[in-house]
Amino acid sequence: MKPFVALTATVLAALVAAPAFANEAAPAPAKADLAKGEQTAAICSACHTADGSRGITANPILQGQHPDYIVKQLTEFKAGKRKNAVMNGMAAPLTEADMKNVAAFYGSKKPVPGAAKNKDTLALGEKIWRGGIADKQVPACAGCHGPAGAGIPAQYPRLGGQHTEYLEAQMNAFRSGERANSAQMTAIAAKMSDKEIKAVTDYATGLR
């Protein structure tokens, strides 16, 4: 009986130790390299400026955006899940490390505040952002993007300070089905009118 007991104890000890050994063996995720990210960002500067700040309004501001969200979008551009003739080509040669590095570079920058432009639609925009549109079953934007538009990585981007024109174009793309990488946003945009989209996107720009 003694040899059997000793063998059992040895096996149990090995099983208990195995998870700890496995955890010790797992490599730590590599940290993003901001210097390499800045080098990649130089290629992006024609559309997004050198630091991802307030370039032309057709392109998104990347400065201060959540790195996880940027990586998600680049990954989906590369895979063709999100379609854009320019970005599909730009993302194609990027490795996972490239994406994480450039995303960390943009994310390290302090967000620049924006300002709403249309005083006549501020009340409607605020109402939709904070409370949604009850009779259309449109949820409050603040529920996912935060009261101040800061977003929640990686699914929900920072919208506060973003170009109104860019936000409006993306909402229209979701509504038409042209942008199809978020079923949630497609369903929400489909219920909104042009006036509602214009109001809430302008309001979002002024959030800080």
Does the pLDDT at position 15 exceed 60?
no
Q: Is 144 annotated as a binding residue?
A: yes
Looking at residue 54, what is its pLDDT? 81
Sign of CA dihedral 103, 107, 111, 115: positive
Q: Is 44 annotated as a binding residue?
A: yes
Q: Is 163 annotated as a binding residue?
A: no
Looking at residue 22, what is its pLDDT? 43
Other beta carbons less than 10 A from residue 208's beta carbon = 13
Q: Is 99 annotated as a binding residue?
A: no
The number of CA neighbours under 13 Å toward the Cβ of 201 is 20
Instruction: Sketch the domain layout of the chain as residue ranges.
Output: 34-107, 119-205
> Tens digits of per-residue pLDDT, 151-186?
998 899 999 999 999 999 999 999 999 999 999 999
Looking at residue 112, what is its pLDDT? 86
Please tell me the CATH superfamily of domain 119-205, with its number.
Answer: Cytochrome c-like domain (1.10.760.10)
> Tens digits of per-residue pLDDT, 117-151?
999 999 999 999 999 999 999 999 999 999 999 99
- Cis, bond preceding 169 (omega within 30 deg of 0): no
Q: Can you say how many angstroms the Cα of residue 95 is from the centroid of all Cα atoms in its chain? A: 18
Please tell me the pTM assigned to this model: 0.85
Q: Do domains 34-107 and 119-205 have the same CATH topology?
A: yes
| Alpha-carbon span 138 to 110, nearest angstrom | 31
Contact in structure between 140 and 200 (CB atoms under 8 Å):
no
- How many degrees, rounded to 5, is the angle at CA 75 between CA 164 and CA 34? 80
Length of the chain: 208
Considering the chain, what is the average pLDDT of its residues?
89
Contact in structure between 51 and 109 (CB atoms under 8 Å):
yes
Q: Is 47 annotated as a binding residue?
A: yes
Question: In 3D, which of 159, 43, 62 has the Cα closest to residue 107?
Answer: 62
> Tens digits of per-residue pLDDT, 70-103?
999 999 999 999 999 999 999 999 999 999 999 9
Other beta carbons less than 10 A from residue 9's beta carbon = 10
Q: Is 1 annotated as a binding residue?
A: no
Q: Is 192 annotated as a binding residue?
A: no
Q: Is 48 annotated as a binding residue?
A: yes
Please tell me the CATH superfamily of domain 34-107, with its number.
Answer: Cytochrome c-like domain (1.10.760.10)
